[in-house]
Amino acid sequence: MKFSRFGLLIRVNDLPVCRSFYRDMLHLGDPVLDSAFTVEFALPGQMILRLEQNHSPSLEHASSAASWILECEEPQKLFDELANAGYNVEMREEARDSGYYFRGEDPEGNFFYVTRP
Mean pLDDT by 10 residues, the chain (117 residues): 85 94 97 96 92 78 72 91 94 66 89 87
Question: Taking the alpha carbons of 108, 78, 103, 26 in that order, is the dihedral positive or negative?
Answer: positive
Which pLDDT does position 101 carry in this prediction?
Answer: 85
Which pLDDT does position 31 carry in this prediction?
Answer: 97
Alpha carbons 105 and 87: distance in angstroms, whole number: 7
Q: Greatest CA separation found in the chain? A: 45
DSSP H/E element including 77: helix 75-84
Note the pTM of the prediction, 2 decimals.
0.85
Which pLDDT does position 45 carry in this prediction?
Answer: 85
